[in-house]
Structure 1
Amino acid sequence: MDLKGAPPGASIVILGAGLGGLTAAYELRKAGYDVKVLEFQNRGGGRSWTLNSGDKYTELGGEEVTCDFEEGNYFNGGPWRLPSHHYAVFHYCKKFGVEMQPFIQTNDRAYLHRSTHFGGVPQRLGDVKNDIQGNVAELLSKAVNVGGLDRSVNTEDKEKLLEGLKGWGVLDKDYRYRASNETTKHRGFSVFPGGGLMPNEKPSKPLPIGEILDSGMWSDIYANHMTYGHQPTMFQPVGGMGKIGDAFTRECRDMIEFNAKVTKIHQ
């Protein structure tokens, strides 16, 4: 929505040069207001900021931190990524020329670790996810086959459900989730296929469902990666989230007074 119709000589003071404050400043100036932004820090962008190699940062307690990681690396001190439904942010990023790239939210080859489970050996996230899915499919197929869902599904739906479970959970002909060439296509090999004198491939062995449940890894998978705000595809600015704050600051620089500590508001 376009703002317009500012009264003659109307002025506005905005406290804080975060993205919210700078968005208001940008749009209100377009509407004809005389806008001033007061920012406590020496930079704009608020939480949308990035520390790059060689940067120094003074914490609120007074301790100075030097970022001595290798050239090209950076750390996002605030938000890390953008869900695909953050339309307003994407609008301004496009308008201000902030280049975007995909953010890898979930990596099935990453590790989950419990020192008191699986002999302390880290487990691949994808292995745990596939094994939970396979075991749940097996349990549900057993309930269907013994008539445990007769009140919920009719005969035709039972056949469709069983066929779907067989594919979804990678079950064998007896509706069991067991190590096989098919499960290996999903969770990987214990010995990967090669050529020449390399050994033949071997399917990987699924994790016991009891130990998965006891370890609590189920919650690690689904609590943090399945919510609406974390659904793929996620995005990030090329070079770090601070690029968004930098772009807003550039567009609004002449309205901002940095190092301006507000101690009192009097109307």
Structure 2
Amino acid sequence: MQRDTLSRRGVMALFSWTGTAALLGCGDSSGEPKGDGRSVLVLGAGLSGLSAAYELQKQGYEVTLLEGRERIGGRVWTMREGFADGQLAEIGAVRIPDVHDHTLGYVDELGLELDEFPGGDPLYYLDDNRFMHKEGEDWPLPGLKPNELQATLGDTWAEYIAGAFEEFGNPRDGSFPKPGIVEKYDDQIWIDFLRQRGASEAYLPLYTADNGAEVYTIGTLAWMVAEVADQAWDKTYHIRGGNDLLPKGIAEKVGMDNILLAHKVMRIEHDEQGVTVVAEHDGAEVSFSADHLVCTLPFTTLRDVTIVPEFADDKMKTIDGLFMMNAGRGYIQTKTRFWEKEGIGGLKIAKTDTDAERIWDLSHVQAGSSTKGMIVSYTQEKHADAYCGKSMDEREAFALTAIEKFFPEIKAEKLAFFQYCWAEDPWVQGAWTDFLPGQWWMAAVAKRAEGRVHFAGEHTSIWAGWMQGAIESGKRAAQEIVATV
């Protein structure tokens, strides 16, 4: 579909991520409710839609959620079937950083408990070289610069990334991006920013093994905004019993009678008086009307929804063009935690350049006293595409063969395997949003309201890909509606 181009003046007006600091406190239920029975439709019962509904109900709004799936939670999805000893796998969101205040606020409000991921030393497998690294020793990577040779990953983060924070500004106080930053960096992928900061070519595979292949795709501004916002990140948590207890707990507050599952949105009509949504349910079309609408559908899904009248040209361009990163998960339950015999530990127990990419360990956040292991091959971008390009019957062998290069015990240790490719999920068609080079203007447009239609979801937050982003955006959309009274 052909769209009109934005004027330069119009584009520049969208670059600043204004108001983020103020949003950190939004969703406050103090004071008199303002909804007065007004009605709101929420599209999507993932974490963002549930958060918006919960905050709106606190303000006295009547809320109905329409969800295409037959379950709630969206990309917060815990798998409990098929694993011995009651262990579980997180198919979607895994981590909660200690600086994610919106997420931890709901955890506390719902009375959920947390387990901390333990620290430890990972295994590296780069260019067929299997090694562990101790602080103060040289990295066995030819071509490193003198400042990189014995530096920890924290040291190089401080030099190459944190050393530029002042230049970019901080989204938490509304100063990101500072003047001139968009013009300087918007067309640049993140890995090229590291090169510009002085990183050697020999260091980049090490950095990628730690952070994932996404760094060769995402734009510099999109990566940096999260780095600055979460710069004080120290500890990392998981919800005891499964991260899906968070959306389930919010859904209980909202009331399951207000959440209509298996309702696929087909059409959105909106005007100055209100909104109407047509959904398909059980082979028939059903219609819903309300005063306001909160749309949390990923734009990959929203592209297939008829919108009458269409939103502004820049919004439609953003819906059409926003990129969703693929991610593949291959969970393996093991007979023992064999890697610990070598002193390997932490969340990311193996950081590699193989098709398995990174191996994460969820063994220590499982319930009970089982000594079995629960690890996952967590792939992104080209590695996810390679994994997901295999048939479902081939993926287990593909993953195990890749892991066998650095964990030769894996095939004998395997008890159970579960695979998932997020690009194949019909309700998302990817794992999370990446703003590509040249797309920073879309960040402001994605979250902007269109009349009585408001937008939430990780794709509308600086915390794209995080539960924090879903919750923050849901609260923001709710606050926008409250502010219209």
Structure 2: distance between partners of 1:7 and 1:240: 33
The structure 1 residue matched to 2:207, chosen from 208, 219, 223, is 219
User: CA separation in 1, counterparts of 2:36 and 2:244?
Assistant: 36
Amino acid in structure 1 at the alignment position of 2:245:
K
Residue 114 of structure 1 aligns to which amino acid in structure 2?
L
Contact 2:33–2:58 (CA under 8 A) maintained in structure 1: no
The aligned residue for residue 59 of structure 2 is 31
Matched residue SS, 1:246: helix
Matches for 1:110-121 after TM superposition, within 5 Å: 110-114=122-126, 116-117=128-129
CA distance in 1, matches of 2:47, 2:128: 44
- Structure 1 pair 264–115 and aligned structure 2 pair: CA distance change class (3 A): same
| 2:91 is equivalent to residue 77 of structure 1 | yes
Q: Deviations over 1:40-69 (max 9, x none)?
A: 1122121112001x2xxxxxxxxxxxxx33
Q: Is the 1:111–1:123 Cα contact (8 Å) retained in structure 2?
A: yes
Aligned length: 171
Summarize the alignment of residues 122-133 of structure 1 with structure 2, pairs less than 5 Å apart: 122-124=130-132, 126-127=133-134, 129-132=135-138
1:265 alignment counterpart: 268
Q: How far apart are 1:241 and its partner, in Å?
A: 1.5
After superposition, give the CA deviation of every residue in 1:56-103 in whole Å (9 maximum; x if it has no partner): xxxxxxxxxxxx332322111111101111101111111111111102
Any residues of structure 2 matched to 1:87-126 within 5 Å, and which? 87-104=101-118, 106-108=119-121, 110-114=122-126, 116-117=128-129, 122-124=130-132, 126=133
Instruction: Point out where structure 2 has 5 or more consecutive residues left out of the alignment.
Output: 1-27, 148-154, 156-200, 213-226, 270-274, 276-485
**How far apart are 1:218 and its partner, in Å?**
3.7
Q: Whole-Å Cα distance in 2 between the matches of residues 235 and 29 of structure 1?
A: 28
User: Which residue does the alignment assign to 1:183?
Assistant: none
Q: CA deviation at 1:216?
A: 6.2
Alignment of 1:153-172 (within 5 A): none
Listed as ranges, the matches of 1:105-254 within 5 Å are: 106-108=119-121, 110-114=122-126, 116-117=128-129, 122-124=130-132, 126-127=133-134, 129-132=135-138, 218-219=206-207, 223=211, 229=230, 231-252=233-254, 253-254=256-257
Could you say if the C-alpha distance between residues 254 and 97 of structure 1 is closer, same or farther in structure 2, counting changes exceeding 3 Å?
farther
Over residues 164-189 of structure 1, what are the superposed CA-to-partner deviations in whole Å (9 max), with x where a residue is unaligned? xxxx9xxxxxxxxxxxxxxxxxxxxx
1:137-158, Cα deviation, whole Å (9 max, x unpaired): xx67xxxxxxxxxxxxxxxxxx
Secondary structure at 2:115 match in 1: strand
Q: 1:2 to 1:221 in 2, by over 3 A?
A: same
2:258 alignment partner in structure 1: 255
Q: Alpha-carbon deviations, 1:187-239, whole Å to 9, x = none?
A: xxxxxxxxxxxxxxxxxxxxxxxxxx959664257657xx6658431111012
Match of 1:10 in 2: 38
SS of the counterpart of 1:262? strand
The one-letter amino acid of 2:29's match is D
How big is each residue's C-alpha offset from its partner over 1:99-120, in whole Å with a ceiling of 9 and x where there is no partner?
111023x530x31113533xxx
How far apart in 2 are the matches of 1:239 and 1:7? Answer: 35
Q: Secondary structure at the match of 1:249?
A: helix
**In the aligned structure 1, how far is the partner of 2:74 from the partner of 2:265?**
16
CA distance in 2: counterparts of 1:250 and 1:8, whole angstroms: 22
Asked if structure 2 preserves the Cα contact closer than 8 Å seen for 1:49 and 1:245, the reply is: no
For 1:240 and 1:218, the matched residues in 2 are separated by 31
Q: CA RMSD in A?
A: 3.3
SS of match in other structure, 1:265:
strand
8 A contact 1:16–1:39 mirrored in 2:
yes
- Find the counterpart in structure 1 of residue 73 from structure 2: 45
Structure richer in strand, relative to its length: 2
Cα offset for 1:123?
1.2
Provide closer, same or farther for how the CA distance between residues 91 and 7 of structure 1 changes in structure 2, counting only shifts above 3 A.
Answer: closer
